[in-house]
Amino acid sequence: MRPKQHELDEEIRGHLAIGARARSQRRFDRALGGRRPRHRGRRPARVRPASGVNAFVFSGFAGIALLIAVVGVAGVLAFSVSARTREFGTRLAIGCSPRHLLASVLSEGALIAAIGIFAGAAGGYAAAWIAGRMFAAVDLPGATALTEAAGVLIVSAIVASLMPAARAARVDVMQALRSE
């Protein structure tokens, strides 16, 4: 069985490419003038792309940043609730439902997160614009990634707001009115 013409052409092209590569290597060797690096019998280590390692490291940093954000929102709201205990007691005394206080504190947490998201997005785009002026290829993340990240931050802030909001809804009216 005879090989087809296109198979012969591909084989010839492959041999020509190998020959060209060998000629290029010989020219390179001559240019070095015998100063070729020696590895003393060992092959040099090959650098492999570490996309899995990078993803793991960046995920770890993102998790730590999310934890810091959650603790920050919870801390700010806990301080706010403790400072407004008298206000919450007064509101409960005049007929406000605990559910309304809970929703109020949760919306404060979501507002804090939304302000942080918009400020972070503006700062990130400004930094990317500056970096794009200095470096050749700077890619901005897509709308899907930004929307998902914003959603995770909003949900995390609302979850972080649950404990201070529950504390605000359980304020004892008489004790809150007696406090200074």
C-alpha dihedral (25, 31, 34, 36), degrees to nearest 10 = -60
Does residue 161 sit within a domain? yes
pLDDT the model gives residue 29: 67
Does residue 69 sit within a domain? no
- 107: tokens are 């919306």
> Residue 128: which domain range?
79-178
Domain count along the chain: 1
| Entry pTM | 0.62
The answer to whether the CB of 85 falls within 8 A of the CB of 124 is: no
What are the Cα distances from residue 106, in Å, to 93, 97, 138?
21, 15, 37
Does residue 127 sit within a domain? yes
Each residue's pLDDT tens digit, 66-89? 999 899 989 999 999 888 888 888
CA dist., res. 90 & res. 86, Å (int): 6
Does residue 5 sit within a domain? no
Q: pLDDT (tens digit, 0 to 9) for every residue of the chain, 180 residues total? A: 555 555 555 665 655 566 666 676 677 666 666 565 555 556 655 655 667 778 888 889 999 999 998 999 899 999 998 888 888 888 888 998 999 999 999 999 899 889 999 999 899 889 888 888 888 777 777 888 889 989 999 999 999 999 999 988 888 888 877 776
- 72: tokens are 């920050």
Does residue 112 sit within a domain? yes
